[in-house]
Amino acid sequence: MSSQKRKVMIIGCGIAGPALALFLKRAGIEAEIYEARETTDGLSLSLSCNGVAVLQELGLDRAAFAEGSAVTRWLMRNGRGKPLGGGILAGGGLKSVFIKRAPLTMLIADEAERQGINIVRGKKLQNIEVTSQGDVVATFQDGTNASADILIGSDGVHSRTRQIIDPAFPGAIYTGLINSGGYTSGIAVASPPETVHFIFGKRAFFGYHVTPTGYIYWFTNQPQEEEPAKGVFDGIADEERKQQMLELYRDDQPIIGEIIEAAETTFPYFLSYALPRQPGSWHKGPIALIGDAAHAISPSSGQGASMALEDAIVLARCLRDIPDLEQCFTTYEQLRRERTVKMFEVGERGDSGKHAIRPMQQWFRDLTAPIFLKLFANPKASDWMFSYRVAWDEPIGAHTAGSNERREIGGAIRM
Ligand SMILES: Cc1cc2nc3c(=O)[nH]c(=O)nc-3n(C[C@H](O)[C@H](O)[C@H](O)COP(=O)(O)OP(=O)(O)OC[C@H]3O[C@@H](n4cnc5c(N)ncnc54)[C@H](O)[C@@H]3O)c2cc1C
């Protein structure tokens, strides 16, 4: 069966799902998306320039910059204001963008619908069966089902698809960070343009970005070794949460308190999860995983959404060009695994500094961070992250043992 004749069912309409559907549509492959939730929400995120490159391929980069705010560098200091270092958030001629999650996901989903791709909401995947004819049948929590030739699980870090194809695989692991954040306007906060500020506070990490209009996106990462019990944050009102956060940063630079105090809204606490470093296979028979479902990395990497978008374009190229499904999925996984493992390590390193809450640990971090950050600030050191590009038009060949990503795509990746 040629790949063009296959019908693909995509589970999850977050970031990877609708992007994959759009690339498949371009390849002439029919796709339909099934999403558990009726609406989307969530905090802002920094979409790195390598993810912006995928949006650019979809013609959605301008809309993303119109909705969000361009960022090209980060600056880090400790809670007393001591500068620790800085680096870039741009590469290959593109900037990164700070954007709210809901508009980003809706941007991609709306474009998918505009192009005639069917998105069925309120469909929570419960089970998958492969019939003796090779059809994949998904059953949803509401008792309905749907079938296709191929099923792609883009259902996020707690992926049901992954649980079904690899029940032995351990689930996502709590990274030890509790997150919140919000949006603030109406106060004047000085900042160089296109900059994300990171502050290692005494008890928690704080990040913020001031847009050209003075609007402030901000987030908090609070270390807590033990995973909080389910429901422990339920029912905390906005004002109470604000007071808790003000208390958390009371010994740090006053700017943090001012931003929190003036917030128009804050987000309920939620936890960071990542998958263990070397998950099992990303595919089984006619089923494959992309995005967080395959390789969730810590949010501290600032790369999870970009990895999801890169997966989407790479998998769509594989489905377009490699008729044999086993070869297709194997090629896709081999093209993506090394890079996502490297990003996992970036996230791990990012997390480790945020867990330093003892004075001695903080003293050591503040002493050594400028040395490490100076190395990282060299654009060459982060080029592998930011200048990665996938050329849609480049044909892709079946992956053979021993070949690597750069060789496989050849001129398609500029490192
Ligand atoms: C606190 C935090 C901050 C982050 N900050 C950044 C950042 O700054 N930069 C960055 O690049 N990344 C960031 N990330 C990571 C980023 O959000 C993810 O990597 C990205 O959303 C992954 O995209 P995805 O499409 O794979 O999954 P998701 O965006 O999670 O989408 C999965 C979709 O599947 C749906 N779904 C789940 N289960 C089912 C089911 N059973 N049936 C049907 N549908 C289902 C969900 O409702 C959801 O819509 C952050 C994550 C967190 C938690």
Render pLDDT for 163-205 as a digit per residue (tens, 0 to 9).
Answer: 999 998 888 999 999 999 999 999 999 999 999 999 999 999 9
The answer to whether the CB of 99 is under 6 A from ligand 1 is no
What pTM was estimated for this model as a whole?
0.94
What does the alpha-carbon distance between residue 137 and residue 35 come to, in Å, rounded to a whole number? Answer: 15
Q: How far apart are the first and last CA of the chain?
A: 35
In a domain, 408, yes or no: yes
Residue 371 in tokens: 């040395």
Helix (H) or strand (E) holding 274: strand 270-274
pLDDT: which is higher, 71 or 5: 71
Q: What is the pLDDT of residues 146-158, one digit of tens each?
A: 999 999 999 999 9
Angle at 345 between CA 341 and CA 346, to 5 degrees: 115
The answer to whether the CB of 299 is under 6 A from ligand 1 is yes
91 and 382 Cβ atoms separated by less than 8 Å: yes
In a domain, 353, yes or no: yes
Ligand 1 centre distance from Cα of residue 319 (Å): 23
pLDDT at 253 over 60: yes
What does the alpha-carbon distance between residue 380 and residue 383 come to, in Å, rounded to a whole number? Answer: 5
43: domain CATH number is 3.50.50.60
In a domain, 66, yes or no: yes
The answer to whether the CB of 46 is under 6 A from ligand 1 is yes
In a domain, 209, yes or no: no
In a domain, 220, yes or no: no
In a domain, 340, yes or no: yes
The atom number, within ligand 1, closest to the CA of 12 reads: 34
The answer to whether the CB of 334 is under 6 A from ligand 1 is no
Parent domain of 106: 3-173+274-412
Number of domains the chain contains = 1
Q: Please give the pLDDT value at position 182.
A: 95
Ligand 1 centre distance from Cα of residue 9 (Å): 18
In a domain, 62, yes or no: yes
Nearest Cα residue to atom 31 of ligand 1: 14
In a domain, 109, yes or no: yes
Q: Please give the pLDDT value at position 311.
A: 98
Helix (H, G, I), strand (E, B) or coil at 146: strand
Ligand 1 centre distance from Cα of residue 318 (Å): 23
Write the CA distances from 199 to 83, 88, 214, 261, integer angstroms.
9, 16, 19, 17
Q: What is the pLDDT of residues 130-142, one digit of tens each?
A: 999 999 999 999 9
Q: What is the pLDDT of residues 38-62, one digit of tens each?
A: 987 778 899 999 999 999 999 999 9
